[in-house]
Amino acid sequence: MADQVLDAKGLNCPLPILRAKKALKSLQGGNTLEILSTDPGSVADFAAFCRTTGNELVEQNEEDGVYTYLIRKSG
């Protein structure tokens, strides 16, 4: 179970990333954020976001056009 859930369904690039960044800011290091998105471009983007920022992409899934990401905040 994630520490926080962000529903970014229906939002297009770059809003899912920007909202995720904002949500991560309020989390403590080591805590997790679950993000729901319907943007197919978010698959590549969340991977790139995590590689660049050092946050860990723990898990990702797709079901019925909804992409789910679990990110653990670094530090």
Partner 1 sequence: MSNVAEMSSPQINPGIDPNTMSIIVTKGSLDWAYPPFILGTTAAAMGLEVTMFFTFYGLNLLMKDLDLQVSSLGNPAMKMPMMGMHMGMPNIVSAIPGVDAAASKMMKNLMKKKGIAPIAELRELAVEADVRLIACQMTMDMFEYGQGDMIDGLEIGGAATYIEVATQSHINLFI
Residues making contact with partner 1 (CB under 8 A): 10-15, 17-18, 20-21, 39, 49, 52-53
Residue 1 or 25: the one with the smaller Cβ distance to partner 1 is 25
Q: Pick the catalytic residue: 7, 12, 13, 22?
A: 13
Largest separation between any pair of C-alpha atoms in the chain = 33
- 13 belongs to the catalytic site: yes
Min dist. Cβ of residue 1 to partner 1 (A): 25
Query: Residues with catalytic annotation?
Result: 13
